[in-house]
Amino acid sequence: MELKQALQGLCPDETDSTYELYLELAKAEVLRRLYPFSQKGRSVPEEHQMTQVRIAEFLLNKRGAIGETSHGELQMQRSYESGDIPSSLTRNLIPEAFCPGEEGLHETPTN
What's the pLDDT score for residue 41?
85
Cβ neighbours of residue 78 under 8 Å, at least 6 residues apart? 65, 70, 71, 72
pTM of the model: 0.74
Average pLDDT, the chain: 82
**Amino acid identity of 26?**
A
Q: Give the tens place of pLDDT for each residue, 15-28.
A: 999 999 999 999 99
